[in-house]
Amino acid sequence: MSRKGWLIGGAVVIVVAVVVALIVVSVSGGDSSGDASSPAETKGGTEVAALVKGLPQADFAIGKPGAPVTVREFIDPQCPVCKAASEKTIPGIINGPVKDGTARLIIEPLTFIGSDSSSGALAIAAAAQQDRGFAYTEVLYANQGQENSGWATDEVLTGIAAATPDLDVEAWKTARTGDAAANAVFASSDRGTAAGVSATPTFVVSGPGGTKVITGAVESSEVNSAIEAVS
């Protein structure tokens, strides 16, 4: 073989060896980083505790039970825009009309994105049995993973339960697999269909003055104006 032929052969062998080494490092590195990332730190517990402090919570709702206006927020646990709404829209509604008794906010979990949506929605419904549906939802959004990546594992959802203020984790675990949680999620889905919800988040604001529907992670002032308009 020519000298260049030998050079080519040698270079190709070296490159193949380098690629194999990279793959080996990738596989072993993948294992160790998987171990490190699995007991993920749960975020948002403190913030949500401050948000809900002193407000009446019941089932999926937060706010005075007799409030003239009801805001139903249709969400999917996986939807990134719902996470954005949780950060941008919700605090202004809670600290405004919910706190002053004008409105009550009710979480309506839908499950259209994928299997992580279903496990997330059931986890919310289980927390709702302890009147912590809203609080659990907000902590969940602080820990949301990539859509359909399988992020909503038992471990992550339990971590969220533990970080949710005033939630009995053991009772929540039992409730998660029960029929009541599933039926609550089905009921939300039915209400979503009835209201013509085709995207999340959708805020359905209803009061004595009628109903207004707002979609997206809007400014909280937009929802608050709607609350004022129908109250």
Partner 1 sequence: MIGGGCATVQNSDYAQIAGVSLSYLGFITYAVMLVSALLPGFLGRLLGLITGVGGVLFSLWLLYAELFLIEAICPWCMASLVVMILALAVGIWRIIAAGDLRSDDGAPPDGMDRAGAAGT
By CB under 8 A, name the binding residues for partner 1: 1-5, 7-8, 11-12, 14-16, 18-19, 22-23, 25-26, 29-31, 33-34, 145-149
> Closest separation between CB of residue 191 and partner 1, Å?
26
| Residue 196 phi, psi dihedral angles, 5° rounding | 70, 30
> Closest separation between CB of residue 37 and partner 1, Å?
8
> Closest separation between CB of residue 117 and partner 1, Å?
13
User: 223, exposed or middle or buried, with CB in 10 Å at 0-12, 13-18, 19+?
Assistant: buried
**Residue 33 or 221 having the CB closest to partner 1:** 33
> Closest separation between CB of residue 3 and partner 1, Å?
6
**Residue 116 or 138 having the CB closest to partner 1:** 116
> Closest separation between CB of residue 201 and partner 1, Å?
19
**Residue 19 or 229 having the CB closest to partner 1:** 19
Give the 3-state secondary structure of residue 109: strand
CA distance 156 to 184: 22
* Intra-chain end-to-end CA distance of the chain, in Å: 89
3-state secondary structure 180-212: HHHHHHHHHHHHHHHCCCCCCCEEEEEECCEEE
**Residue 13 or 187 having the CB closest to partner 1:** 13
**Residue 23 or 180 having the CB closest to partner 1:** 23
Amino acid at position 38, single letter: S
